[in-house]
Amino acid sequence: MPEGHTLHRLARAQRDRFAGRVVAVSSPQGRFEAGAALVDGRRLVDVTAYGKHLFAAFGDRIVHVHLGLFGRVVEGPGDPPPPIGAVRMRWVAESGWSDLRGPTACEVLSPPEVELILDRLGPDPLRPSTQRLLQARSSLAGRGPSSEARTSARPLSRDVACARIARSRAPIGGLLMDQRVIAGVGNVYRAEVLFRRRLDPYLPGRDVGRERWAALWTDLGGLMRQGVRTGRIVTTERADRERSSGRVRAEDAHYVYRRTGLPCRVCGSPIVQHDLAGRKLYFCAVCQAP
DNA sequence: GCGAAATGGGAAA
DNA sequence: TTCCCCTTTCGCC
């Protein structure tokens, strides 16, 4: 589940259900007991996502959540169900409840500690400009918009990321997964957007070029915004699916991700799988030839 | 019942 | 690069 779209969708759901309300925060599993006590019974001001990170501000105490590979949040209206399994953090308010399981990070931070995390992250395609990023940072830090954020003519996120890859010899397939370069992309969007742009995953960042990067950025943003809307990652065009009507079936949703050995939807040659920096990389060696 | 895998990332070496 | 953590689910005895 958790690439950037999941976190932005979650932030919206949590904001809708809990923002402005007093929240009872607990840790049925016990591993977040001390942290829960710091925010229990406080009013939730806002919830924001940035890349794959979620920040829930209870005033100047901010709960930071990172879902990692298999973290998950379940939420609903009414009274919470009895906790089943390892519920790290539970929220309960008059408007409903939510349960967090299996996160890599669940901790209470101060505004400066949040800044340190944001400093390590590149632009997020789900936030269209660096101006918006600065505004988000200001609100998390409990300030009004900074003078920097008010100034117009900030560089576009797209161009900030472009400058970063343009000076790197690392393969574009690796750079897309580097959260310091671009925040929120995971293994599915990485593989799929490279296929859609017909880019060789091993192409060095410096050789991608401004045109191709701009097209990739635009495509990626569209895919991720669709992911936020629908809660799933569907990257195939209608014409490239077995069935072109009705709900997209899971086996039709991707071009290359987890399709090792299956025929490419475009050219028919078998999709290949490599290992790149410890993660699986899927691509079509013909459509994405160097 | 057991092992492996999963849309991630940080620290250690 | 390798290890380690987080939790659930699914395939295979």
**From A17, A52, A101, A137, active-site residue:** A52
Which pLDDT score, from 0 to 100, does residue A242 have?
82
| Cβ atoms of A42 and A22 closer than 8 Å | yes
Lowest mean pLDDT among A17-26, A101-110, A242-251, A257-266: A242-251
What's the confidence (pLDDT) of residue A141? 62
Q: Using CA atoms, how far apart are residues A49 and A53, in angstroms rounded to an integer?
A: 6
Asked if A281 and A191 count as a contact pair (C-beta separation under 8 A), the reply is yes
Question: Distance between CA atoms of A263 and A7, rounded to whole angstroms?
Answer: 32
Residue A24 neighbours by CB under 8 Å, 6+ apart: A40, A41, A91, A92, A93
CA atoms in the 13 A half-sphere facing the CB of A289: 4
In the prediction, which pLDDT does A247 show? Answer: 87
pTM: 0.93
| Structure confidence at residue A138 as a pLDDT band (50, 70, 90) | low
Task: Look up the protein residue whose alpha carbon has the minimum distance to the C1' of C6.
Answer: A102
- A69 CA, B3 C1': Å apart: 18
Residue A130 has what pLDDT? Answer: 53
Contact of A282 with A273, CB cutoff 8 Å: yes
CB-based contacts of A148: which residues, under 8 Å, 6+ apart?
A: A134, A154
Residue A147 confidence (pLDDT) above 80: no
Q: How far is the CA of A186 from the C1' of B7 (A)?
A: 6
User: For A22-26, A147-151, A194-198, A220-224, which range has the lowest pLDDT when averaged over its residues?
Assistant: A147-151
- CA dist A79 and A224 (Å) reads 32
Asked about A280 being catalytic, the answer comes back as: no
Tell me if residue A94 is catalytic: no
Mean pLDDT of A234-258: 91
Dihedral sign (CA A7, A9, A10, A15): positive
Chain C nucleotides reached by a protein CB under 7 Å: 1-3, 5-8
Per-residue pLDDT for A34 more than 80?
Answer: yes
- Residue A148 is a catalytic residue: no
pLDDT above 90 covers a percentage of chain A that reads 85
CA of A79 to C1' of B2 (A): 36
Q: Tell me if residue A237 is catalytic.
A: no
Which of A53-62, A239-248, A253-262 has the least mean pLDDT? A239-248
The band of A140, judged by pLDDT with boundaries at 50, 70 and 90, is low
Is residue A290's pLDDT more than 90? yes
What does the alpha-carbon distance between residue A189 and residue A4 come to, in Å, rounded to a whole number? 10
Q: Burial letters for A153-173: b for 16+ Cβ neighbours within 10 Å, e otherwise?
A: ebeebbbbbbebbeebeebbb
pLDDT at A127: 86
